[in-house]
A and B are shown apart, each in its own frame.
Chain A
Amino acid sequence: MNILQILLLALFAAFAVLRLLGRGRTASRFARWTLLCLGAVVVLAPFTWLLAAVFKDRSVLNEYIFLPPVEQWSEKTLNLDNFRELFKGRPSLTGPVYFWEYVLNSTVYATCTTVLQIFFCSLGGYALAKYEFRGKNALTLFMLGSMMIPSVLLLAPLYKMVVDLGLVDSLAGLIIPGMVGTYGIFLFRQACLAVPNEMIDAARLDGCGEFGIYLRLVMPLVRPMAAAFCLICFLGNWNAFFAPNVFLHSQDKLTLPVVLNLYLGEFRHDQGVFLTGTALAMIPPAVLFFALQREFISGLTSGAVKG
Chain B
Amino acid sequence: MLKDLPNPPSLVMRFVSNFPYGRAPLWLLVIAVVSVGLRVLTARRHEARPDLVIVTHTEAQFDAYRKAIPRFERDHGVKVQLQFANWASLQARLQNAILAGSEVPDLSEVFAGSLGFFTRGPAEDFGLLDLTDRMRADGLDQRLVQSRLSLWSTRGRVYALPHDVHPVMLAYRRDLVEALGIDVSKLTTWDKFVEVGRQVSRDLDGDGIIDRYMLDMRYDGNWGLQVLMFQRGGQVFDQQGEVAFATEDNAQLIRWYIEQTRGPHKIGYECGWGQPVVRAMTDGLVLFQWAPDWRSWVFADEAPALSGKMALMPLPAWTPGGRRTSTWGGTGLMIMKQTRHPDLAWELAKYLYFDTTQLGERFLATNILPALKDAWNLPEFATPFPYYSNQRVGQMYAELAPEAPPVYSSPVDDAGRLALDRAYNRSAQYYSQNGEAGLLEKIRAELAEAAESVRRLARREKILAKGTL
Listed in ascending order, the chain A residues whose CB lies under 8 Å from chain B are 58-59, 61-63, 91-95, 101, 104-105, 107-108, 111-112, 114-115, 118, 122, 155-157, 159-160, 163-164, 168, 171, 215-216, 219-220, 223-224, 226-227, 230-231, 234, 245-246, 249-252, 258, 261-262, 264-271, 288, 291-292, 295
Contact = CB atoms under 8 A, between A and B. Distances in A.
Nearest to A95: B44
B385 to A, nearest CB: 18
Interface stretch (B2-10, B86-94, B130-138, B410-418): B86-94
B92 A108 contact: no
Contact of A246 (B86, B89, B294): B89
B256 interface: no
Contacts of B20: 215-216, 219-220
Contacts of A157: 100
Q: Chain A contact residues: over half helix, strand or loop, or mixed?
A: helix
16 contacts: A61-B275, A104-B35, A107-B31, A107-B35, A115-B28, A122-B21, A160-B100, A163-B100, A163-B102, A230-B28, A231-B24, A245-B92, A245-B93, A266-B86, A267-B58, A291-B24
Contact of B22 (A155, A226, A251): A226
Contacts of B85: 249
B28 A234 contact: yes
A262 B59 CA distance: 11
Contacts of B63: 91
Contact of B103 (A163, A246, A271, A295): A163
A108 B35 contact: yes
B99 interface: yes
Contact of A267 (B66, B276, B294): B294
B100 A295 contact: no
Given A62-B279, A91-B63, A295 B24 contact: yes
Interface stretch (B76-84, B342-350, B357-365, B443-451): B76-84
Interface string B339-379: 00000000000000000000000000000000000000000
A266 B23 contact: no
A219 B21 contact: yes
B219 interface: no
B298 A268 contact: yes
B57 interface: yes
Interface string B82-123: 111111110011001101111100000001000000000000
Contact of A171 (B31, B39, B45): B39
Nearest to B98: A156
Chain B interface extent, by class: 35 or more
Contacts of B42: 101, 104
A59 B278 contact: yes
Nearest to A296: B24
B83 A159 contact: no
A267 B366 CA distance: 11
B279 A63 contact: yes
Given A157-B100, A271-B275, A249 B83 contact: yes
Interface string B302-325: 100100000000000000000000
Contacts of A268: 59, 298, 301-302
Nearest to B274: A269
A101 B97 CA distance: 26
B28 A250 contact: no
Contact of A111 (B22, B35, B279): B35
Contacts of B103: 163
Contacts of A234: 28
Nearest to B17: A220
A59 B305 contact: yes
A114 B100 contact: no
B21 A223 contact: yes
A265 to B, nearest CB: 5
B431 to A, nearest CB: 30
Given A160-B100, A266-B111, A268-B298, A91 B28 contact: no
A260 B369 CA distance: 30
Contact of A112 (B36, B58, B100): B36
Contacts of A226: 21-22, 24-25
B52 to A, nearest CB: 13
B96 A246 contact: yes
